[in-house]
Structure 1
Amino acid sequence: MLKTLLKKFLAACVIAGVSIAASAQTYPARPIKLIVPYAAGGTTDILGRMIGQKLQESMGQPVVIENKPGAATNLGAEATAKAAPDGYTLLLGTNVTFAVNPHLYEKLAFDPLKDFVPIAPIALTQTVLLVNPSVPAHNVREVIALAKAQPGKLSYGSYGSGSLAHLAAAQFAAMAGVQMVHVPYKGSAPAMTDLVGGHINLMFDNIVTALPNAKSGKVRALAVTGARRSAAAPDLPTVAEGGVSGYEVVGWFGFAAPAGTPPEIVRKLNSEINRALAMPDVRDRIISAGADPMNMSSETFAAFIRSDYTRSGIMVKTSGAKAE
């Protein structure tokens, strides 16, 4: 009896293995749904549609974008986590989804590290340290010196508690050993308006909106927040170059699938996404959007997410941010 059951179990495993292999070989056999957890028209949506179009061309099946904004990407992530792990529902998530939200929210309907399999990143974004032109600081070291000379007097704006702008500034203050006052706004635009008007002294802002204001002379750009200089602003040094050793705060976009998605399908998607990212027109559009193209294996991307998860946890704790 035991031998019979064992034989049936082994046979079932073989059949399942053959079925998975066969499905991976014929994948995709129908349209793929790509969930974008933001509203249409934003950077994530634009990047998703661009890469989706390239995948559609190379894989021969439509890639249908489903915008599912809400709860700081949590709604879209939850829908993906609950989908069948067959490669036909994908998520274009961000660092907010996988690294920041788990530390901001007390309860999530999904585990970002267990309920997804990372496929491939597509782009990395940096913020820019900006100061009002009246601030007597022209580089990172001078900002630090000014803040130390006037503890708790310099104010910085952000587009909300727990936003990348908030975390970047709080981490900067902690690592530089200075005290500054946080002034949260409901969006980047009102924060920038007050920075230009001199109502706040500095701000870490998205590179897309930061550079035009800096070029016009409305604000002064001092540094970018990544580990390397940005392709969109190669003349700007990093904060680390400016004297805050080890400083790195970045945003990123990447594809993921529900946990349990066959490895063969994950590898195929990774290969096709990286092929698209190598295309000159794709790279140019990513850089023109103020981002830096990324290219990783799914395994390397998974390690990257785990590292950013840990780093973001430290930043959220340092900032004292809570989900709004």
Structure 2
Amino acid sequence: HPGKLTFASGGNGNSLHIAGELFKSVAGINMLHVPFKGNVPALTAVVSGEVDLIFSAASPVLPLAKAGKLRLLGVSTKKRLVGLEDVPTIAESGLPQYEMSSWYGIFAAGRTPPDLASRISSEVNKALGVQQVRDQMLRQGIQPTGGTPAEYQKFISSELAKWGNVIKAANIKVD
């Protein structure tokens, strides 16, 4: 029944919407996008059964899953998440070309001297190496990953290209 399966997002053009559009494309299925005014109302709609599913970062859904209010069907990262080893990746479930992960970074103004940017990067990498910091991040469903400013710039460029293609193909318009 094409278009009968629904997925929620926090609004047209947000990351949850785009993740759903990528899934539709890769899986070759038709799902109806149901936008809400924010991710919390979108999650609430899924928990209540108003909408069938949601693509979400791990941190907001983990407490709901632990309470039995949501069922985790798969993780969208390349590897299973620490602490969620029993939840398969979407790739393992039959869609090897689907991969989506939320990422966080530290940004500075373009005029920031390169030596200062390198020092900040070095300090962040040191912090990510502290086991207590790593453990706290992992408990929230965040996989700590360090690197250099150049590596991060390369990653961001590839992400912009990937998601730009998804946005164009799905003809996504932001509200």
Q: TM-score, normalised by structure 1?
A: 0.51
**Aligned match of 1:44:** none
Please point out which of 201, 206, 209 is paired with 2:60: 209
Please state if 1:254 is matched with 2:105.
yes
**Alignment check: 8 A CA contact 1:229 1:236 kept:** yes
Matching of residues 60-71 of structure 1 within 5 Å? none
**Alignment check: 8 A CA contact 1:154 1:201 kept:** yes
Q: Give the letter for the 2:74 counterpart.
A: A
**1:266, 1:172 → 2: CA distance?**
36
**Aligned match of 2:120:** 269
SS at match of 1:182: strand
**2:155, 2:121 → 1: CA distance?**
15
**1:237, 1:190 → 2: CA distance?**
26
Please state if 1:220 is matched with 2:71.
yes
**Aligned match of 1:173:** 24
Give per-residue Cα distances to partners, 1:147-182, cap 9 Å, x unaligned. xxx211111111111111111111000011000101
Please point out which of 127, 131, 142 is paired with 1:291: 142
Please point out which of 93, 96, 99 is paired with 1:245: 96
Per the TM alignment, residue 217 of structure 1 is displaced from its structure 2 partner at its CA by 2.2
Q: Give the letter for the 2:136 counterpart.
A: R
**2:107, 2:50 → 1: CA distance?**
41
Give per-residue Cα distances to partners, 1:26-49, cap 9 Å, x unaligned. xxxxxxxxxxxxxxxxxxxxxxxx
Q: TM-score, normalised by structure 2?
A: 0.91
SS at match of 2:107: strand
Change (3 A) 1:260 1:189: closer
Please point out which of 10, 34, 43 is paired with 1:192: 43
**1:193, 1:153 → 2: CA distance?**
19
**2:90, 2:56 → 1: CA distance?**
14
Which structure: greater strand fraction?
1
- Gapped runs of 5+ residues in structure 1? 1-149
Report sequence identity in percent: 37
**1:264, 1:298 → 2: CA distance?**
11
Give per-residue Cα distances to partners, 1:92-147, cap 9 Å, x unaligned. xxxxxxxxxxxxxxxxxxxxxxxxxxxxxxxxxxxxxxxxxxxxxxxxxxxxxxxx
Per the TM alignment, residue 227 of structure 1 is displaced from its structure 2 partner at its CA by 1.5
Q: Which runs of 4+ in 1 moved over 3 A?
A: none
Q: Give the letter for the 1:285 counterpart.
A: Q
Give per-residue Cα distances to partners, 1:55-113, cap 9 Å, x unaligned. xxxxxxxxxxxxxxxxxxxxxxxxxxxxxxxxxxxxxxxxxxxxxxxxxxxxxxxxxxx
**Alignment check: 8 A CA contact 1:171 1:318 kept:** no
Larger radius of gyration: 1
How many residues in Structure 1 have an aligned counterpart in Structure 2? Answer: 175
SS at match of 1:240: coil
**Aligned match of 1:73:** none
Per the TM alignment, residue 288 of structure 1 is displaced from its structure 2 partner at its CA by 2.2
Please state if 1:236 is matched with 2:87.
yes
Per the TM alignment, residue 218 of structure 1 is displaced from its structure 2 partner at its CA by 2.0
Per the TM alignment, residue 253 of structure 1 is displaced from its structure 2 partner at its CA by 1.1
